[in-house]
Amino acid sequence: MASIRPLTNEERQTLIAKAGNPITVTGALLVAALCSAISMGSLYVADRVLGFLSPYFPILFLIVIVAWLVYSIRSYLKLRRGFSLTPYHDDLAGGVAEVTRFHATKAIRFEEWEDGGGGYFLHLKDGRTLFLRGQYLFDLEENKKFPCSEFEVARGPNSGAIVNLVCCGAYFPSQKLTAPFTQPSLKMVPMDGEVIEVPWEKIDRMPT
């Protein structure tokens, strides 16, 4: 059962940071530049091996730059349409956090994936599976506080963004380290703090 309380100053700052729009034109252009450089490097290596691409390099260079630029801008526009800052602003205006207490019995850690860091699948006492992933877990891990038998998760009521995790119970180590998103049942990456439908038995069978 979730409870409502005022945001702490630290939680408010966390929410403000999360409310900063991570999707920028600059990011899209950097992706295009990086991918173009990798592609041209690959073509250069191929030319050194095959020896007949040099005369076509100006045309190939133009094609590669335009192709990656179009792809990156289209991806940017698609993500921009699906991203809204309104829920974050509503949370800041409301000034409260929604706090839920969880009781866990087991944990499986998964490898760092893209830029979001690693995280955990947690087998809850009521049989459900909780998914947590984010940099806010790093210090808790290093200090041997998480995973733990009991903890509270504070999040924005509208955005669902996790702004704090407080350990209340005893620390226990994770069962194993896995790479979950190579598994057919976990192709879709859950949201941070989501209770997922995948049975614990399937997660427990994932290889290390």
Inter-CA distances, 194 with 94, 122, 133, 170, 176, Å: 22, 11, 10, 22, 21
- Same-domain check for residues 101 and 200: yes
Q: For the chain (length 208 residues), average pLDDT per consecutive 10?
A: 90 84 64 78 76 74 82 70 74 93 93 70 93 89 94 93 94 84 62 86 79
- Same-domain check for residues 127 and 199: yes
Beta bridge partners of 178: 110
Look up residue 157 and give its two tokens: 């009521």
- Same-domain check for residues 41 and 124: no
Q: Is residue 74 part of a domain?
A: yes
- Same-domain check for residues 73 and 108: no
Angle, helix 9-19 to helix 86-94, in steps of 10 degrees: 160
- Same-domain check for residues 48 and 113: no
CATH assignment at residue 174: 2.40.50
**Which one of 53, 81, 109 terminates a domain?**
81
What pLDDT is recorded for position 172? 94
Q: What is the pLDDT of residues 1-58, one digit of tens each?
A: 789 999 999 999 988 887 765 556 666 677 777 787 888 788 777 777 777 767 777 7
What pLDDT is recorded for position 24? 60
What pLDDT is recorded for position 182? 56
- Same-domain check for residues 122 and 179: yes
Determine the structural domain holding residue 54 and report its residue range.
Answer: 25-81
What pLDDT is recorded for position 15? 87
